[in-house]
Each structure stands twice: as structure tokens, then as C-alpha cells.
Amino acid sequence: MVAIGTVGLGGPGALGGGALIGEIDEAGAPRPPAGRRWQRPPAWRLVILVIAFLFYAFPFAAAVKYSLVQSDGSFGFNNYSQIVSDGAVRDSLYTSLEISAIAAVAVVLLMLPTVVLVRLRLPRLTLLLEGVTILPLVVPPIVLASGLAHLQGSAPEWLVKLWFNHPLTGLTPTYVVLAMPFSYRAIDTGVRAIDLRTLVDASRSLGASWFMTLTRVILPNVETAVLGAIFLTVALCMGEVVLSSIMLYNNVLPVEMIQVGASSPGVSVAISILALVFVFVLLFSLSFLARRRRGSTSVRVI
Amino acid sequence: MIRFEGVQRHYGSVAALAGLDLEIADGELVALLGPSGCGKTTALRILGGFDHPTAGRLLVDGRDITGVPANKRDMGMVFQAYSLFPNMDVRNNVAFGLRMRRQDKASRLQRADELLELVGLVEHADRYPHQLSGGQQQRVAIARALAIEPKVLLLDEPLSALDARVRAQLRVEIRNLQQRLGITTLFVTHDQSEALSMADRVGVMQSGRLEQLDTPENVYRHPATAFAAEFVGAMNRLPGRMGDAGDVQVLGQRLSVLNPDGREPGAPVQALLRPEAVSVVRDTAGAGEVTQRTFLGASVRLEVVLDGGQKVLVEASSHDVGVEVGTRVGLRILADAVVVASPGVAPDPEATPVVA
């Protein structure tokens, strides 16, 4: 049962998130003109829809039911209230959220200006950048993990104190790097979809500084893409297990979930469900933002 | 006043601008005209601060602005591509420049409405760019460029993406607006009729050089070089020979030469003659035969093939010409001065003008 919960956010979770973003994009695409007569879809489509729905809904419903079973066999919210009352779980949730927030901000601050700079001034570096950003996917995570663990073991004490002593400093930079394949592509696709040079020139000629051009002109027009990058980064931070457990950061949410799962599986599943709900809320707010400007050209996130 | 002083721009070994000297007086509209790749857009982008000269200086009212970044130059620019910010409505697009100048919200939005009034789009102020037609978008772009009360207005082929009817209309509107506000304007185009009809002075450019800078009438009637002659308007090339006194003999007539350039007497040249500078007379012993006749309303365009195989385009008033295809005609040249080109130098295919 634990596995069901972690799949939503675990290592493969990042890829699952990718697929979900694709669906959002469809929602933002131009819809058929209103007033077109609604036609009953053929029966086989309904059948497929129902099967697919059951395929996803059944394990989820089972997990919800399981999380509601209390230790004495009755139904209740004990497992959920334990998340709040269990200090370790709460703290690990906060830590993971902090890591997510900082990593998401760092990804945007790093990637958006880089992509804009390369597109405008250094187009010859595009290939190099594409190569570099794909590296975290090409190099197996275990290599990265053992490399970091080795560094952790052999680094001078001041560096260990500065960098590795806390998961915030130890994991956030690593997650920013791990998120690069997704964040770069999401933002690059968004920037490609706008007439960057003309917008930048127009903004500059009207007296805007580079900062104003980035924040007032470029960012709002690649909003969906940037949100996509943020979402993927958050999903990665909330679900990554391999690195954090190898580097012995036990007080982050995914590792904590596994530990709790060993002693009280109900609580672990409850956390998974909450995490899933969190992701859905994130997704819906994303699609809401994407649809806010209706009729504007849809920007593919991935 | 704007001054380009020996401005050069090299991309590697390619010279996009090979030393441009140009002065634009206050309130003047200068059009740079030339085929693509002639350096006209580079000149405009350098003035706008989007590109930087490899050598030379740029002066505005005597002040050197060569190193001033684009956002400090006070130049309003209208682009060829639609350049409105998609995330802002029309009013906020127009007010953007004032917002960057920290003007308070109420006054900048009021100013935006005034400018939208000027371009006749005030009722569209709440729309977003994607809800406007191309012509409307370019009008908003003009209002946005004017909102910051720029010293100079830069127009980078702003009409080329529009359809013909809107283009003709906007051409008149832009010119009226420019004259009313008395704003110094640099206009870049590859459309000769646009340049001739809108500009105070037209600069014809080729390969990074200014070939001629003069009033539209002079550029048309007294082209300085063969290139300028052939890029602006339709042109005949007729073989002739240089005479002793800087003149040329063409079709048995003596004409003075506008660009002798030290050519030897007796040297073979080609005289460049506009279709309307040639007339036909019905003559059974004439030198050529009418092979094509196109009625254009006010005028008739005839293609005459001389006995040597040389084709000559003739444009004459439709009232005077009563010749049909197959009629033998004699040719008479009405101009008394022509530009000559060296024979064998084929006209640049890209420079071949569209016969209007």
C-alpha cells in the first residue's frame, strides 16, 4: 500500500507529473466554438473512459479507505490527526516544503534569464545548454548520489558544516540540478512560443530596464511555462527518495514516509493521499492560471 | 537633429553598414529605401540602440549617444512584427512607457486614452492585442511609441505585414500624424511607393552605403546612380555611346548625362530611361513594333520591340495613344538628361523594382 502512495510523488512521480502537465495544456488550447451541437460520444469511448477511470480511481479509493481504518479497526481520522500530532512527520513535511519553495524560486531565477540570454545573444550555445541540462537524466541518480556521499565523507569540516549539515542546504542545490531537464525544457518551450526579440526591443525602446523587461514583459507571457517548471521542481522535491536517503537526510517527507510506513502503514498512506491532493490542487491552480487569459495563444508547457 | 557620422557595422567580415553619413533635421521624415540586406534596418537598429556600431558616432542634437543603452534613448519604435505585449490590454500597452518613467497611474492612463483617440482606437482600449486586426495593432503600436513623447520615431517597415488597402490608409495616417506632431522620423522600407509618398527625403541604400539622399522627386527624376535609378520605379536600359561633351547618343538623340563619372567619349553605355520618358509616334518606317499593350486607365503601357530585338517599355497618356499591337512605331525620348550604366552589368535581380 505504501508503494501506491509514493508512486504519486516518488522518483517516477516526476515523469507522471509531466504527463499530467500535458493534459493541462490541452485544457488551455483553443476550444471548439461554443454553440457547436454536443454529440453523444460513441459507446466504445465511454467504455474506455470508464475503464480508465476505474483503473485510477480504484487504488485511490482503496488507499483512502485504508487510511481511514484506525488501529482498533473502526473508521476515523486518527491516521490523519497523527500526521499533525507526530512532530517528526510534521517537521519533515515543513522541511520538504521549504526545500520545494527555495528550489522552485532558484530554478526560475536561474533558468529564465539563462534561456532569454541564450535565445537573444548566444544562440550558438543552445545545443550546449540542451546537452548540459539533460545530464541529470543521462547520468544515473545513483552515480550522483555516491559522488555526493563521497564528497560528504571527504570534504573539509567547514564545508560539511556549511553545506551538508542541513537538508535545506544539502538537498536544495542538488534538486535544482536534478530538475534542470524539466525546468529548462518547460521554460525554453515557453520562450520559443513568443516573439522574444521584438517584445524585448519594444520594451527596451519604451524605457524599461532589463529587470523590468524580464519581470513585466517576458515573465507574464511565459507564465504557464514557468508554472510548469515550478510544478515539476516541486513534484521532484516532494518525492525524491534515493538521494536523500543515501545522503542520510531522514527528516525529509519522502524518507520519513517510508520510515513511518514500516511502523504505522495507515499514517504513511494518509500522508501519501494528502500529498496527492496537494499535487492535484497545484495542478488545478496551474490550469486555472493558464485559462485565465482565454483566447490568448496557448503555451505548451512541455 | 540626428547625425550618423561614418557609422559602420561589421558582422565578422561582412559589412552591414560601410560608413553611413546621414543628417535628419528636426521634424523631418527620412525614408531609407533599399533591397533586403542593404543595411537600412541595421542603421535603424543602431539609432534605436539595439545594435552597436563597429565604428563611427551617433549624435542627437549634438550629443554623442553612441554608447547610450536603448532604454535611455527616448526613441519610440514601431516594429515590422506585431509587438504589443500580449499580457496587457491596449490601454496598458500604450501606458507602458510612462509606467517605466514612473508616472502615476491616473495620469498615464489618461495620456494613453488621449493617444488612442489620436489613432482612432479609444473604444478598443480595454481589448487585448489578440482581439485586434493587424492594422489596429500597428496603430496601437504607433500610439505606444508616441506616448513617451520621444525625440525620434523609428518605423521599421511597420506596414509590410498588412494587406494593401490598410497599408495605403495607414500610410496617409502616419504621415499626417508625423506632420501634425512635427516629430523627427526615420522610416525603413523596401517599398518604393511607400518611401516616395511619405518621406521628406528618401535615402536609397545598397550594400551598406547610401547611394543617394534627396527629395522623392529628385530621387525619381534625377537619380544619382544607376542603382538608385533602377531601384526606384520601372526603368528601360537602352544602349548608347558617350559623346564628346559628357552627353550620350541614344536612339539617334543626344541627351546630357547625369553621372558621367569620367567615362571616355565613344565608350559604350546603357542609358536608363523611365517608361514615361519615352513616347511613340505611328510611323510605318519606325524603328520598332508594338508587341504588347496594357490599358491602365489614365495611361497605357506599351512594349515596343526594336528591330535589333531590344525591348522598350513606354508609358503614355491613354488619351494620346491610339496604337494597337502590331503597329510600327517610332520612338522619341522626352527626357533631356539621363543616368547611364556600364554595359554588361546586369541589374541586381533583387533590385528589380515591381512595376507599379
pLDDT digits (tens, 9 = 90+) for A95-125: 888 898 899 999 999 999 999 999 998 989 9
Q: Chain-centre distance of CA B2, in angstroms?
A: 19
Among A34-43, A84-93, B82-91, the range scoring the smallest mean pLDDT is A34-43
* pLDDT over 80 at A58, yes or no: yes
Nearest chain A Cα distance for residue B78, angstroms: 8
Residue B266 is predicted with a pLDDT of: 80
Chain A partners within 8 Å of B50 (Cβ): 201, 204-205
At A75, the amino acid letter reads F
- Across the interface, do A205 and B69 touch by the CB < 8 Å criterion? no
A35 domain-assigned: no
Residue A210 is predicted with a pLDDT of: 92
B222: alpha, beta or left, given left = phi > 0 and alpha = psi -120 to 50? beta
Expressed as residue numbers, the domain containing A231 is: 2-28+43-292
User: When comparing pLDDT for B99 and A152, which is higher?
Assistant: B99
A133 domain-assigned: yes
Residue A36 is predicted with a pLDDT of: 53
* CATH number, span B2-221: 3.40.50.300
Q: Which of B76, B81, B85 sits opposite A217 (nearest CB)?
A: B85
A174 domain-assigned: yes
- Across the interface, do B86 and A203 touch by the CB < 8 Å criterion? no
Cell numbers for A178, please give them.
Answer: 536534478
A34 domain-assigned: no
Domains B2-221 and B234-345 belong to one CATH topology: no
Closest-CA residue of A relative to B130 is A296
Q: Which of B69, B81, B130 sits opposite A296 (nearest CB)?
A: B130
Among candidate residues B213, B185, B193, B188, the one with its CA nearest the CA of residue B201: B213
CATH number where A186 lies: 1.10.3720.10
Query: How many domains is chain A partitioned into structurally?
Result: 1
* pLDDT over 60 at A258, yes or no: yes
A122 domain-assigned: yes
What is the domain partition of chain B in residue ranges?
2-221, 234-345
- What ipTM did this prediction achieve? 0.78
- Across the interface, do B86 and A194 touch by the CB < 8 Å criterion? yes
Sequence-distant (≥ 6) Cβ neighbours of residue A274 within 8 angstroms: A80, A83
Residue A2 is predicted with a pLDDT of: 33
Longest dimension (CA), chain B: 80
Partner B contacted by A222 (CB < 8 A): no
Residue B309 is predicted with a pLDDT of: 81
A300 domain-assigned: no
Mean pLDDT of chain A: 78
CATH class (in words) of the domain with range B234-345: mainly beta
A298 domain-assigned: no
Residue B345 is predicted with a pLDDT of: 54
Among A12-21, A52-61, A275-284, B147-156, the range scoring the smallest mean pLDDT is A12-21
Among candidate residues A82, A8, A84, A60, the one with its CA nearest the CA of residue A264: A82
Show pLDDT as tens, one digit a residue, over chain B (356 residues).
889 988 889 888 888 888 889 899 998 999 998 888 888 889 999 999 998 899 989 989 888 988 888 888 888 999 988 899 998 999 999 999 999 988 888 999 999 998 898 888 889 989 999 998 888 898 899 999 988 888 899 999 888 888 888 888 888 888 988 898 899 999 999 888 888 888 999 998 888 888 888 898 888 888 888 888 878 777 888 888 888 777 888 888 888 887 777 778 888 888 888 888 888 888 888 888 888 888 888 888 888 888 888 888 888 887 766 788 888 888 888 887 788 877 765 544 444 443 33
Partner B contacted by A199 (CB < 8 A): yes
A15 domain-assigned: yes
pLDDT in tens, A22-36: 333 333 334 444 445
| Strand ranges of the sheet holding B55-60, from the earlier edge strand across to the other edge | B14-24, B2-11, B55-60, B63-64
